A and B are shown apart, each in its own frame.
Chain A
Amino acid sequence: MIRGSFIILLFLFIGESISYFIGNIIPGSVIGMVLIFVSLTLKIVNPEHVRAVTEFLTKNMTIFFVPASIGIMKSWNIISANWFSLTFICISTTILIIMIVAFIQEKAEKLRKKKEIENQNI
């Protein structure tokens, strides 16, 4: 547990530092995520060392978000004044993203299958 926590926090720290030096363009946690992914692929980090910690963190992610959502108290006025446009934008763009992503992936898979069949015929 301690070793896993150490590794995760170390990557978070490195990510935060890089984020600071590149002017906070990308959140430090995202940089840390990419770095640990790369380190795992390059076998610098042993996945078994971190698994217990990462499983706990990813499975219980929902609760970590609760304190941030309470911040709605602070911006309640701005939200209630714009509730319709906010809800409309959220829902319509969510549908849009689902459709676009699914469409591209489905089309690509069909194309690949078609090519495979063509190659077999040759």
Chain B
Amino acid sequence: MDITQHLFNNAPFMLTLTMGSFLLGTYIYKKSKISLLHPCIISMICIISFLKVFDIPYETYAEGSAFINFMLGPAVVSLGVLLYDQMKYLKGNVLSILTAVSVGSVIGVISVVILGRLFGLDSSLIVSMEPKSVTTPIALGISESYGGITSLTAVTVVICGMFGAVFGPKVLSVIGIKSPVAQGLSIGAASHGLGTARAMEIGAVEGAISGLSIGLMGVMTSVAVPVVHWFIENIF
């Protein structure tokens, strides 16, 4: 036991474990092409199994992997540059894009609150799910600000991302959406980066607009969550 403590209880090991599991996950995902075998899911299973086998508490892992976790903040700031790069796709669509994403984010938050209450979920669970369509780093920030369980937020973000990436295009064809801008925008709004990866497979415009949608949805939801909370507290 003492030996494992010395060997594993340090940042270099935790970082190696995290990146190694992720590389393995990426490899399996690319080889199998099964969307359920997403790199995140695989690395999650690998890391948790490892920690369980060697009886390492979560806190030790969190401490060791803090460096990767920190990168979330700079990654969000970088989305601003991505947004700037995609300005040209905004031409003529500014008003409709802003309307669509803001309505989408508000309804997204409200629907989670309504369904959560119908299911009788604890308020901390509902708060954790409110930012579930937003890219992870922003979602974690929102969830943390309102007393949500960030780990639960992280999990729901991945579920929504995977679901939208796999079934999003099908949903769009069922309701007969043909505009590339509408396709990219909606998949990015509901399924952030995972959706954007899929939208890029459909087309360049879809991918770029989807990337733009990630940032917009992040900002809109950051604003929508306190607004919806205020309405619930003061009006209902």
State the A residues within 8 Å of B (CB): 5, 8-9, 11-12, 15-16, 24-30, 32-37, 40-41, 47, 50-51, 53-54, 57-58, 61-75, 78-79, 82, 85-106, 108-109, 112
Contacts and interface: CB of A to CB of B under 8 A. Distances in A.
B74 A87 contact: no
A65 B138 CA distance: 11
Given A8-B78, A67-B61, A69-B151, 16 more contacts: A25-B222, A32-B80, A33-B218, A36-B81, A63-B18, A63-B39, A65-B72, A67-B69, A71-B150, A82-B121, A89-B116, A102-B186, A104-B103, A105-B185, A106-B178, A109-B93
A71 B154 contact: yes
B196 to A, nearest CB: 10
A115 to B, nearest CB: 11
B135 to A, nearest CB: 7
Interface of B: 18-19, 21-22, 39-40, 43-44, 47-48, 51, 58, 61-62, 65-66, 68-69, 71-85, 87, 92-93, 95-97, 99-101, 103-105, 107-108, 111-112, 115-116, 119, 121-122, 125, 129, 132-133, 135-138, 140-142, 144-145, 149-152, 154-160, 163-164, 167-168, 171-172, 175, 177-179, 181-183, 185-187, 189-191, 193-194, 213, 215, 218-219, 222-223, 226
